[in-house]
């Protein structure tokens, strides 16, 4: 059986979110990594950091936070993106929303555990929270008056990646007729305001998010000699077989994940 390490602190992080070692569990069929997390980046069952990663993948590939236009629930543990989303990703040069799909595939990962047998990721919880938050997004967008999150046409363009509180600050240039601060309600689908991994900040022309760990396209690595993330979105396979050393755990190798062909996981 492969020994696989799960998503954790991302390269350039000023605070470690997760640290890794490995453990085998009969329920998950995977051996994965973990650790303690900073209070600023509370990570119950792993779904908050994954939702924050999803918010950024949406911005990178779809270039707008319009979840109710692109996401739908096809049944139990089957949250999907529609054909309109795939066509928009193609138009943006992002294939068929591969990064978004790789994150959605985590809803079927069952449980992942730390070395003490404590659960650090729950695919069922991830799916259920996606469902809850997407429903909440629809409710807000259907309201009128002060509590409305109605039409706010915008385009997001990634312009900078810097060290952040949880992991990486992803800064987007915003083209919109509304103040970027008013776009925050479009992140209900990603758990705002409960999801502290988002760390939403805005200026008059930008929005910055600070997701916690893995699965974001083109993440830099803190160590030039090895990948310091546990989970890497790598559709062209260019990093497969390369060394990985997340949180100082040397000797790992990036291998194709069993659940998604576009995902590499640090394996020992």
pLDDT tens string 67-124:
999 999 999 999 999 999 999 999 999 989 999 999 999 899 887 664 446 676 799 9
Domain limits, the chain: 39-267
Q: Taking residues 147-172, report their average pLDDT.
A: 91
Is cis: bond before 93, omega within 30 of 0? no
36 exposure class (CB count in 10 Å sphere: 0-12, 13-18, 19+): exposed
| pTM, rounded to two decimals | 0.82
The least confident of 5-19, 33-47, 154-168, 212-226 is: 5-19
pLDDT of amino acid 232? 84
Q: Taking residues 241-268, report their average pLDDT.
A: 84
Pick the more confident residue, 222 or 30.
222
- Cβ–Cβ under 8 Å, residues 246 and 222: no
Q: Distance between CA atoms of 196 and 176, rounded to whole angstroms? A: 25
- Strand partners for 207: 172, 202
Q: Indicate the average pLDDT of the chain.
A: 81
Residue with the two structure tokens 């997390």:
37
- Cβ–Cβ under 8 Å, residues 42 and 177: no
The least confident of 53-62, 181-190, 250-259 is: 250-259
Given CA atoms 239, 237, 82, 85 in this order, what sign does their dihedral have?
A: positive
Q: Distance between CA atoms of 171 and 264, rounded to whole angstroms? A: 25
Q: Distance between CA atoms of 231 and 246, rounded to whole angstroms? A: 10
Largest separation between any pair of C-alpha atoms in the chain: 56
Whether pLDDT at 225 is above 50:
yes
Q: Taking residues 38-65, report their average pLDDT.
A: 86
Confidence band, pLDDT 50/70/90 cuts, at residue 66: very high
Whether pLDDT at 31 is above 60:
no
pLDDT of amino acid 12? 30
61 exposure class (CB count in 10 Å sphere: 0-12, 13-18, 19+): buried
């Amino acid at each position: 059986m492969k020994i696989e390490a799960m998503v954790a602190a991302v390269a350039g992080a000023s605070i470690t979110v997760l640290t890794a070692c490995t453990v085998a569990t009969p329920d998950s069929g995977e051996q994965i990594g973990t650790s303690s997390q900073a209070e600023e980046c509370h990570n119950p069952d792993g779904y908050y950091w994954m939702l924050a990663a999803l918010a950024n993948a949406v911005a990178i590939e779809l270039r707008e936070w319009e979840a109710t236009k692109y996401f739908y629930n096809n049944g139990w543990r089957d949250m999907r993106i529609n054909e309109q989303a795939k066509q928009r990703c193609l138009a943006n040069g992002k294939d068929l929303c591969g990064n978004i799909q790789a994150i959605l595939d985590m809803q079927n990962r069952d449980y992942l555990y730390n070395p003490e047998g404590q659960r650090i990721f729950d695919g069922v919880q991830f799916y259920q929270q996606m469902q809850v938050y997407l429903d909440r997004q629809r409710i807000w967008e259907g309201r009128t008056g002060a509590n409305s999150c109605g039409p706010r046409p915008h385009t997001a363009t990634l312009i900078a990646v810097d060290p952040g509180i949880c992991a990486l600050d992803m800064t987007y240039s915003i083209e919109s007729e509304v103040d970027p601060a008013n776009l925050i309600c479009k992140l209900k689908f990603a758990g705002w305001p409960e999801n502290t991994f988002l760390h939403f900040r805005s200026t008059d022309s930008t929005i910055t998010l600070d997701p916690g760990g893995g699965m974001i396209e083109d993440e830099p690595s803190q160590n030039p000699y090895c990948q310091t993330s546990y989970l890497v979105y790598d559709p062209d396979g260019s990093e497969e077989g390369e060394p990985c050393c997340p949180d100082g755990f040397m000797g790992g190798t990036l291998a194709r994940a069993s659940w998604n062909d576009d995902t590499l996981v640090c394996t020992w």
